[in-house]
Amino acid sequence: MTFSRLLIETIYSKKNPVLVGLDPRFDWIPEAIRRNADPKNNEQVAEVFKEFCREIIDIVAPLVPAIKLQAAFFEQYGVHGMSTLHWLIHYIRIKKGLAVIFDGKRNDIGSTAEAYAAGILGEHSSWGADALTVSPYLGDDSLEPFVKTAVERNAGIFVLVKTSNPGGKMIQDLVVDGKTIYRRIAEYVQQLSLSTQARSERYGNIGAVVGATWSEQLAELRGVMPNTWFLVPGFGSQGGSAKDVAAAFDENGLGAIINNSRGILFAYRQEPFQSTFGETKWQQAVEAATIQMIEQLRAETPAGKLTNNNTK
């Protein structure tokens, strides 16, 4: 099964395009889970992360099609954190049957890029991820090894095109020869996506990261990349709304997965979930925040049409 087909099948199965991001922060994890752990002990923190993230996965797995793991939050705790990251990837894929995106924003050239791709992408790789985020700023030859490996292993990559952070415009919005950098990258990503299309598929296996915080550019880029999956960060805590991401979808509600990390993981820390559930019922807050996001996307974007699709 190609990566594009995997996304389609899992999105149809759950009838929504929500992507839950695992970005664990020790100090924000409910006190009941972390109370006996020393924050300076990497092994103990990694065990806290494993317990917390496993509970998150168990709650959201019946509701959403995919999970994204932000590698940096685990890598900062050395071998113990990376062991937890590895365990979670396989728990999500094998035990829960969801698509897994490794958010590492890797980039390099030649054999180094090949090594990154070989280690992370595909069911039988060391990490076992279905897809990987990559940066394009070393040029087209830096992307080629990732694309090649993705094609060989039926995996996917998401190329940073228009990121959600305010500072991204320093480079991405620069105009060169009458065209922004982000649009130039988008045109190249569209070519890559077309080159990896299966015969019967609308979308290829090479996707783009396009932030929810730039709704006008998101709409522009959907026009530039009609055959490209969008991974859309910036929903919720960064200010992006369901209306902001509506243009990411095609007329059938496909073509995009919308990420929410802090707004789901730590829903108990913010209203209205803080008053309703509080820290002692943080699991219910996670579930309620996930359902709320699903309902918002169904109400305000073409993703609402997924509820009418009976494809398994």
Return all residues near 255 (Cβ < 8 A) that are at least 6 apart. 202, 203, 222, 228, 229, 230, 248, 249
Q: Cα(169)–Cα(80) distance, rounded to whole angstroms?
A: 36
Question: What is the widest separation between alpha-carbon atoms in the chain?
Answer: 58
Q: Which of 14, 68, 105, 179 is catalytic?
A: 105
Task: Give yes or no for a contact between 245 and 252, defined as CB atoms under 8 angstroms apart.
Answer: no
Quickly tell me which residue has 């002692």 as its tokens. Answer: 280
Task: Give yes or no for a contact between 188 and 140, defined as CB atoms under 8 angstroms apart.
Answer: yes
Return all residues near 231 (Cβ < 8 A) that are at least 6 apart. 19, 68, 101, 133, 158, 207, 208, 209, 210, 256, 257, 259
**Is 105 a residue of the active site?**
yes
The per-residue b/e assignment along 169-199, b for 16 or more CB within 10 angstroms, e otherwise, is beebeeeeeeebbbbbbbebbbbbbeebbee
Residues with catalytic roles:
105
